[in-house]
A = this chain, B = another copy of it.
Amino acid sequence: MRIADFRVHPIAIADPPLRSSYGLHAPYALRTIIELQSDAGITGISETYGGDAQVRQLEALRSQIIGANPWRLTGLLSPMVEGEGAGNARSQSYLVPGENPLDASTRTFAAVEVACLDLIGKTVGQPVCDLIGGKVRDEIPFSAYAFYKHGGGGGEGDDARPDEYGPALTPDTLVKQVQKMIAQYGFRSVKLKGGVLAPDLEIETIRQLARALGPQTPLRIDPNSAWTAETSVRVGQALAHELGGEGYLEDPTAGLENMALVRQRLQALGIGTPLASNVAVTSFADIPRSVQLDAVQIILCDHHYWGGMRQVQHLARLTRVFGIGLSMHSNSHLGVSLMAMAHVAAATPHLTYACDTHYPWQSAEDEVVLGGRVAIQNGCVRIPDKPGLGVELDYDQLARGRDRYAKCKYRKRDDEAEMRKHVDPNWKRILPRW
Stoichiometry, copies per complex: 2
Does A318 sit at the interface, judged by CB under 8 A?
yes
- Tell me, rounded to whole Å, the shortest Cβ–Cβ distance linking A250 to chain B: 22
A268-282 to B contact mask, C-beta < 8 Å, 1/0:
000000000000000
With a 10 A CB-CB cut-off, give which of A78, A79, A287 has the most chain B CB atoms.
A78
Which of A95-103, A122-130, A196-204 participates in binding chain B?
A122-130
Within 283-299 of A, Cβ neighbours of B (below 8 Å) are at 284-285, 287-288, 291
Do A136 and B75 touch (CB < 8 A)? yes
Does A72 sit at the interface, judged by CB under 8 A?
yes
**Separation of A327 and B256 alpha carbons in the complex (Å):** 32
Which of A218-226, A309-317, A374-382, A418-426 participates in binding chain B?
A309-317
**Separation of A286 and B180 alpha carbons in the complex (Å):** 47
| Chain B residues with CB under 8 A of A73 | 134
**Separation of A79 and B71 alpha carbons in the complex (Å):** 27
Do B284 and A87 touch (CB < 8 A)? no
Given A82-B349, A320-B82, also A131-B287 (CB < 8 A): no
- Tell me, rounded to whole Å, the shortest Cβ–Cβ distance linking A343 to chain B: 12
Do A287 and B134 touch (CB < 8 A)? no
Do B284 and A130 touch (CB < 8 A)? no
**Separation of A124 and B349 alpha carbons in the complex (Å):** 26
Does A174 sit at the interface, judged by CB under 8 A?
no
Given A314-B317, A318-B317, A320-B82, also A75-B288 (CB < 8 A): no
| Chain B residues with CB under 8 A of A430 | none
Do B313 and A133 touch (CB < 8 A)? no
Residue from the list B126, B316, B350 in contact with A71, Cβ < 8 A: B126
Nearest residue, chain B, Cβ from A318: B318
A306-346 to B contact mask, C-beta < 8 Å, 1/0:
00001101111110111100000000000000000000000
**Separation of A122 and B124 alpha carbons in the complex (Å):** 12
Residue from the list B69, B82, B135, B287 in contact with A350, Cβ < 8 A: B82
Does A76 sit at the interface, judged by CB under 8 A?
yes
Does A74 sit at the interface, judged by CB under 8 A?
yes
Does A347 sit at the interface, judged by CB under 8 A?
yes
**Separation of A223 and B300 alpha carbons in the complex (Å):** 42
With a 10 A CB-CB cut-off, give which of A83, A135, A323 has the most chain B CB atoms.
A135
- Tell me, rounded to whole Å, the shortest Cβ–Cβ distance linking A142 to chain B: 20
Do B75 and A284 touch (CB < 8 A)? no
- Tell me, rounded to whole Å, the shortest Cβ–Cβ distance linking A38 to chain B: 13
Do B72 and A135 touch (CB < 8 A)? yes
**Separation of A286 and B349 alpha carbons in the complex (Å):** 20
| Chain B residues with CB under 8 A of A317 | 82, 284, 311, 314-315, 317-318
A-B contact pairs, 20 of them (CB 8 A): A71-B131, A72-B134, A75-B130, A75-B133, A75-B135, A75-B136, A76-B134, A76-B136, A78-B349, A82-B320, A87-B321, A124-B124, A284-B317, A284-B321, A285-B321, A288-B322, A310-B313, A311-B317, A313-B314, A315-B317
User: A71-B131, A82-B317, A87-B320 are known contacts; what are 8 more A-B pairs with Cβ within 8 Å?
Assistant: A76-B134, A82-B136, A82-B349, A82-B350, A83-B349, A124-B124, A314-B316, A318-B318
